[in-house]
Structure 1
Amino acid sequence: MRLARFIAAGFGTGYAPLAAGTVASAAAVVTGAGFLLLSPWTLAFMALLATIGGYLSVKRANIEGDPGWVVIDEFAGQWITMLALARPTIPGLVAAFMLFRLFDITKWGPVGWADRRHGAFGIMADDVIAGFIAAALLLAVRFSQPEWLM
């Protein structure tokens, strides 16, 4: 397997037999919690790396459409969402997972617009936008009802 395809497949999570995007998001929550424990900057760096590296990998592998096994975009979007957390707590991680998956699956608003773009940009952009929207909502909860994320 070429490196670009391995990265595009979310380090192999994209080959899960069912719900590869959900499996990748769950893996991203677990790894992202570890990065957040190290430092919010570590998580931010990994989100940026997944976004840029994912785009370049999808482009390099000449992937057409948005095949289900390409899930590096889920890692990028999920880690962006998790940047809204002060620290990893079970309620916070569950909320980050649920909010990201909600926007990723439903494709509301600008997420749907990005999903209709072609090539590597379209594959990555919808999840990155979903991550930013989910992060904004999570930040609103964090500052208005912080006890919900404890």
Structure 2
Amino acid sequence: MDKQIRSRVSLLNPVHFLAFGFGSGLAAKMPGTFGTLAALPLVVLLSHFSSFSVYLIVTILVCVFGIWICGKTAEDMGVHDDSSIVWDEVAGMLITMLAVPLSWQTVLVGFMLFRFFDILKPWPISYLDKHVHGGFGIMIDDVLAGLFALAGIQFGLVMGWF
């Protein structure tokens, strides 16, 4: 992020702080990967200390409010979907691990599957990424990548691979 854009945002602003994935999106390299990593403590916390319904409600809230959080931050930056905005990765990782029994194997597979779909953007993810804008556009491709990763990990669980 260049200095002119950086001057328009602040980690002291709670909306920007969340959009930047608690600051992880400001990593010089691979901010999406760092944003996904920043989601893991939340995944673990929700998986171990809440019911499925609480996990689901939090995930839905992260997605719905993420539309505004990402849209507002992009507007403040004057740049659509800057790579430093990683709240969508947080949402995608929460979706990926929905109803998945937590172990180091499932977390690793979930992380790898989500990053795979988020980076490669197979159709229809690529279509949405290119044609849908604003906060919804920032969020929807990662929500869909999370759903693809969730399907992959659930398939692996059904097959008994982990």
Same fold, judged at TM 0.5 (above): yes
After superposition, residues 71-90 of structure 1 pair within 5 angstroms as: 71-85=86-100, 87-90=101-104
How far apart are residue 58 of structure 1 and its match? 2.0
Q: If the length of structure 1 is used for normalisation, what is the TM-score?
A: 0.90
Structure 2 partner of 1:5:
16
How far apart are residue 35 of structure 1 and its match? 0.9
Structure 2 partner of 1:47:
59
Q: Quick one: which of 2, 17, 32 aligns to 2:28?
A: 17
Instruction: Name the CA distance, whole Å, in 2 between partners of 1:106 and 1:84.
Output: 24
Q: Percent identity among equivalent residues?
A: 34
Structure 2 partner of 1:57:
69
Instruction: Name the CA distance, whole Å, in 1 between partners of 2:24 and 2:61.
Output: 17
Q: If the length of structure 2 is used for normalisation, what is the TM-score?
A: 0.83
Amino acid at match of 1:41: S
Instruction: Name the CA distance, whole Å, in 2 between partners of 1:54 and 1:127.
Output: 11
Verify: 1:102 aligned to 2:116, yes or no: yes
Output the aligned Cα RMSD.
1.5
Instruction: Name the CA distance, whole Å, in 2 between partners of 1:100 and 1:127.
Output: 8
Amino acid at match of 2:42: T
Instruction: Kindly tell me the number of residue pairs found equivalent between the two proteins.
Output: 146
After superposition, residues 29-40 of structure 1 pair within 5 angstroms as: 29-38=40-49, 39-40=51-52
Structure 2 partner of 1:115:
129
128-137 or 29-38, which moves further after superposition?
Answer: 29-38
Extract unaligned runs of 5+ from structure 1: none
After superposition, residues 119-134 of structure 1 pair within 5 angstroms as: 119-134=134-149
130-139 or 63-72, which moves further after superposition?
Answer: 63-72
Q: Is the 8 A contact 2:66 2:139 kept in 1?
A: yes
Instruction: Name the CA distance, whole Å, in 2 between partners of 1:123 and 1:59.
Output: 7
Instruction: Name the CA distance, whole Å, in 2 between partners of 1:30 and 1:6.
Output: 16
Amino acid at match of 1:102: F
Structure 1 partner of 2:5:
none
CA deviation profile, 1:4-61 (whole Å, cap 9, x unmatched): 2222111211112221110111121232022111133332222212211211112233
107-116 or 1-10, which moves further after superposition?
Answer: 1-10
Q: Is the 8 A contact 1:20 1:69 kept in 2?
A: yes
